[in-house]
Amino acid sequence: MSPVVLSAAGTCLVLDATGPGLPVVRHFGADLGPVTGPVLAPLLPAPALLPAQGDGWYGRPGLAGGRPGEHWPVRWTRDGPPEVEAEAGRGGRVRTAAADERAGLRLVSELVMDPHGVVMMRHELTGASASPYRLDGLTCAVPLPARAGEILDFTGRWALEKSPQRRALGDGVWARENRRGRTGHDGTGLLVAGTPGFGFRHGEVWAAHAGWSGGHVHYAERVPEGATLLAAGELLEPGEITLGEGESYRTPWVYFTWSGDGLDTAAGRLHDHLRSLRDRPVRPVTLNNWEATYFDHDLDRLLALAGRAAEVGVERFVLDDGWFRGRRGDHAGLGDWYVDEDVWPGGLHPLATRVRELGMRFGLWFEPEMVNPDSVLAREHPEWILARADRPPPLQRRQQVLDLARPEVFAHLLGRLDALVGEYRLDYVKWDHNRDIAEPVHDGVPGVHAQTLAVYRLIDELRRRHPALEIESCSSGGARIDYGILARTDRVWTSDSNDALDRQAIQRWTGLLVPPELMGAHVGAPRDHVTGRSLPLAFRAATALFGHMGVEWDLTSAGRAELDELAVWIALHKRLRPLLHAGRVVHADHPDPSTLVHGVVAPGRAVFACVRLASGPGSGPAPLRLPGLDPAARYEVRTAGPLPPGAALPEWTTAPVRLTGAVLGELGLPGPGLKPASVLLIELDAVAPGQDG
């Protein structure tokens, strides 16, 4: 049969289904135009959709598992030709059903290309034998060409997520495995392979992301014969999934993206995909009280904070940890989701009412999956902890994890969340998850898979009951950022660090996976509570401007000049918000590593930030090149927001200039001489023909 071709947005995937087994991805990359059988011959040989030795692949198999006392290497036979729904240039869907009767297994593979060129893949494996099959692994993979010689992935820790690391891709496997029970601060998010030296605006890149909030694996493998794979999937523990006859396991969606001109285009495809999932309302500027008051829930103090928040332009007030019974510190109370009558004798109504009178929305913090041993819930129901009954896991943050896959636990949590959201007409829930899941046992087997699915069901049901409710996924900062959780939430908390210097890098690399409007970015206090570093308000605000902007600062302690300046930055964010939260994110490959240049570009408009992180080696600033603009359009270039103090600013910052996108992208502007920890914002508007002077 003719090859199956999916194409969209300049991307193409060619699927060869000529043999009796699973189809083979012959090409994933640049659009090839019309493809016929003879074109397949010179393309790099690749294993089938599920790599196995029966197809000549001697690397890591796509399927791992077996039955006690017997071993049948799986060799798939298709039930018939793949089911194809495709439209040239618009993507499409391919569904393939196959079986190995001797091995007692059936398989359905789905492959989807969306209109933005993002490829999604998943497999569903079903037992077809009376003998149970223990599944150890099932991953999704695409081939890479030989020119993909370098890989980029990310590690991290609490309050410093998404730290990049690069290396050459040689023979063997480079794998990132996560067994934390959540995506993890060190979760790579994306595993990127590309031509050596690729950057934001140059080089060919391929990237994979497992859209799953539990254990996961991403890997790249090259075998000496030359074939290379990029793969990802759920990481299963031994015995976690056993398939009886007629029982099925379906992998999470794995997302693949390609770009012929650097990371920005690959990320842009992913941003477009997330934005297409559903329409989101305007992202309101949010104040969270955590770093302002911590556990000190004094009504008068919180009312004063709410007043200051409304004064500077905040649109939503979120009450963080400390409002429920017994919660005077992090040692007690988790699980007892009732308003503490001693602290809040009138309930939360006086605060919620005043917040709304001030024109703001009201949100509340929860950590539903967790429980303190020092809580009524844990004392009454120790069996609800996700653990063996005879040996609880080690404590982290003085808390344990509840087994949400138990129906009674699920029902209890849904009941409490539903009641509180309804009583207080909550607009927003900050959903936290503050520890890794250690030694999880559910019904005698590893429990992360069942726990993750239960969390998804809980969020989905709460949203079904309260369709207008927005939910933030927070996991001690950025430890649960993935497309599984983002499919059902409205933003992520990017990091527990509000230190703007660290945040510049954290947001830069998290932004490969997540568009700005889904990344919580707050203006912290003058002295950061994590790093102890003091930074100017302008630098803190300009950093938060490029995300879902918020404030996490005791504004009652701020002086009048600080409040007035903050109000200016919030007003600027609101003015730029339609651009920031819908445009294409771009980065310049700037020659000075101490300077970052990034922006957001839309037809006819753009805003850029030139960020000075530290003192650089050069004696003068490099030209400021602004990428991603329409080369034929003519733009008026001017500064936006307060000018950075003490900077040596070129003439164009005081007298706006008009230049084409081609000139701005290739030659650039004279670079500003900025001091460390300062930002210059540049705003551009296209000039209509006949009005360009």
Q: Rounded to whole angstroms, how far apart are CA atoms 481 and 547?
A: 15
Reading across the β-sheet that carries 216-222, which strands appear in turn?
A: 140-144, 228-234, 216-222, 172-178
Report which of 513, 567, 587, 573 is spatially closest to residue 543, judged by C-alpha positions.
573
d(CA 347, CA 342): 9
Whole-angstrom Cα distance, residue 138 to residue 249? Answer: 9
Structure tokens at 111: 């492959």
589 is catalytic: no
Which residue type occupies 407?
Answer: P
Number of Cβ atoms within 10 Å of the Cβ of 11: 26
- Cα separation, 273 vs 515, in Å, equals 10
Q: What is the C-alpha separation between 30 and 10, in angstroms, rounded?
A: 6
Cα separation, 627 vs 635, in Å, equals 13
CA geometry: angle 653, 655, 656, nearest 5 deg = 80
Concerning whether 432 is annotated as a catalytic residue, the answer is yes
The Cα 325–Cα 430 span in angstroms is 18
Burial (CB count within 10 angstroms: exposed 0-12, middle 13-18, buried 19+), residue 113 = buried
Residue 210 near residue 178, CB atoms below 8 Å: no
Alpha carbons 691 and 604: distance in angstroms, whole number: 14
Q: What b/e readout covers 468-493, taking b as 16+ CB neighbours within 10 angstroms?
A: ebbbbbbbbbbbbbbbbbbbbbbbbb
| Active-site residue identified among 100, 432, 482, 528 | 432
Catalytic residue, candidates 320, 336, 490, 496 = 496
Rounded Cα gap, residues 344 and 331, in angstroms: 20
In contact, 127 and 245? CB cutoff 8 Å: yes
- Count of Cβ atoms closer than 10 Å to residue 561 Cβ: 9
**What distances in angstroms separate CA 671 from CA 557, 597, 610, 624, 647, one per listed residue?**
36, 11, 9, 5, 11
Q: Are 125 and 135 in contact (CB under 8 A)?
A: yes
Q: How many alpha carbons fall within 13 Å on the CB side of residue 119?
A: 31
Q: Read out DSSP for 632-668?
A: TSEEEEEEESSPPTT-B--GGGTS-EEEEHHHHHHT-
Of the candidates 106, 89, 101, the one whose C-alpha atom is nearest the C-alpha of residue 13 is: 89
Residues 6+ apart with CB under 8 A from 143: 25, 26, 28, 44, 46, 47, 227, 228, 229, 230
Catalytic residue positions? 432, 496
